[in-house]
Structure 1
Amino acid sequence: MPNQTLSTQQFVDIKEVKGGVLYLKGGGIRRVLAVGGINFDLKSQEEQEVILHSFQNFLNTLDFSIQIFIHSRKVNVQSYLQKIEERKAEEQNELLKIQIGDYIEFVKTFVRDNPIVTKTFFIVVPYETPKASAPTKGLLGFFKKKPASKAKTDERMEHQKQTFQLGQRVDEVIQGLGGIGVHAQPLEDEEITELFYNLYNPALIEKEDLAIAQSPEAEEQKKNPKEA
């Protein structure tokens, strides 16, 4: 009996990820933005009303749809525990060593019994590419057929046009969110791959060293340390 096992990729409607752009099997393209947050509950009632009104205006200015989704994931504390272990190895005071060891065991036990979950917010910006028309059959199809070099040139120009228009939409979303104090950062190839891997493997813990596991504000400070 032939093996009927199918890979996860066959169930994902993504053809490839290149240059931070998701190319769908159906022809559409997407960009994913990691979005920060604001302490809405700590704002005054007037400030909350201003934020809600500004967000409503932002949505009304868009002439295309967007998708907003929240990804919950387990926090990886291994790197933190590793630093504590290194601190313990450097400590000369035996009493402090014991206390550090007890603290490490406490953190391990607490995380095991009470998984720490953080939420990351994303916005998907779409652009639907025009579907290619069906080829004409018969004699007319022969005359309408383009040379291979011409077809490749047209395809490349159309691809550049589509990615440019998608980029304009991304900039519009980033600027609109920035107007209400929310920072948004486009994900790159590795971050997108990690995101979808964890979406289809929810029991696993994400790697902490990737930008997706950090807030957009923290990632921006890493890129511009002088501004921090």
Structure 2
Amino acid sequence: MPKEALPTQQFIEIEAIQNDAVILKNGGLRKILMVSGVNFDLKSEEEQQLIIYAYQGFLNSLNFSLQQFIHSRKLNIENYLNKLEQVQNKETNELLKNQIGEYREFIKSLISENAIMNKTFFVVVPYDPIQISEAAAGAAQKIFGLLKKKPPAILEQSEPEKQKQLEHNLDQLNQRVDLIISGLTQIGLRAAPLNREEIIELFYNLYNPEAIEKKELEIAKQT
């Protein structure tokens, strides 16, 4: 009999999305920031050097790692085309109405013949709480087993304790996020964290590269 296909969730390291943060299966937390871009080539040589030195100083000030990535997608202009159609239908001047219609058809033709890509810049801020390894836990269990009690690090946590720990970890993560946003601002870049809906939208697009974006991320309008 053919083997049953494994569920997609088994290959994804995400446990949940809570408080606008990605919770990984290993207990780690991630927040995703959308960052504005800068046209580096249009800057003068002096401005380029200032940006490089500022960015270098920003990276050297961090005591944790960062992930940066560029997400390229086919631009979705359905909303724009729909707005043009609405304007065309409301226009009473026949000449303007025809011009709007011709322009709309030109845009549709341009998009169909040439894929226009939209690039978005992201920074992933991590926080990984200290986890006791299985080997260390086993060794600790043997030692504490002689004393007939469990080591504190591997005691079972109640739900309120787990929630309290999660809130503490989120607070630590948010402090890092504030630090990153402040550092990027000094370089002249604007950054804002994605909310839950935007994170889901981003991962949908990442795991469905053949599709155009369903809609523009709301956060993009802020950065």
Same fold (TM over 0.5): yes
| Amino acid in structure 2 at the alignment position of 1:85 | E
- Which residue in 2 is equivalent to 1:144? 150
- Which residue in 2 is equivalent to 1:206? 213
Q: How does 1:45-194 map to 2 (within 5 A)?
A: 45-132=45-132, 134=137, 136=141, 143-144=149-150, 151-194=158-201
Q: Residues 57-82 of structure 1, C-alpha deviation per residue, up to 9 Å, x if partnerless?
A: 00000000001100001111111111
- Which residue in 2 is equivalent to 1:16? 16
3-state DSSP of counterpart to 2:212: coil
- Deviating above 4 A after TM superposition, structure 1's stretches of 4 or more consecutive aligned residues are 137-142
CA gap 1:63/1:149 in 2 versus in 1, 3 angstroms: closer
CA separation in 1, counterparts of 2:169 and 2:22?
12
CA RMSD of aligned residues (A): 2.4
3-state DSSP of counterpart to 2:158: helix
Task: Tell me if 1:25 matches 2:25.
Answer: yes
3-state DSSP of counterpart to 2:222: helix
Q: Residues 135-155 of structure 1, C-alpha deviation per residue, up to 9 Å, x if partnerless?
A: 737966963389x99633432
Q: TM-score, normalised by structure 2?
A: 0.86
| Amino acid in structure 2 at the alignment position of 1:144 | K
Q: Residues 29-75 of structure 1, C-alpha deviation per residue, up to 9 Å, x if partnerless?
A: 11111011122222211111011000000000000000110000111
CA gap 1:30/1:150 in 2 versus in 1, 3 angstroms: closer
CA gap 1:4/1:76 in 2 versus in 1, 3 angstroms: same
CA separation in 1, counterparts of 2:58 and 2:151?
45
3-state DSSP of counterpart to 2:58: helix
- Offset, 1:192: 0.7
CA separation in 1, counterparts of 2:151 and 2:163?
17
CA separation in 2, counterparts of 1:149 and 1:56?
43
| Amino acid in structure 1 at the alignment position of 2:170 | T
Is there any run of 5+ residues in structure 1 with no aligned partner, and where?
A: 221-228
CA separation in 2, counterparts of 1:72 and 1:132?
38
Q: Residues 73-132 of structure 1, C-alpha deviation per residue, up to 9 Å, x if partnerless?
A: 111111111111011111122233222222211111110111110110001111112224
CA gap 1:203/1:68 in 2 versus in 1, 3 angstroms: same
CA separation in 2, counterparts of 1:132 and 1:206?
41
Q: TM-score, normalised by structure 1?
A: 0.85
Is there any run of 5+ residues in structure 2 with no aligned partner, and where?
A: none
CA separation in 2, counterparts of 1:150 and 1:117?
48
CA gap 1:139/1:58 in 2 versus in 1, 3 angstroms: closer
- Offset, 1:162: 1.2
CA gap 1:75/1:5 in 2 versus in 1, 3 angstroms: same
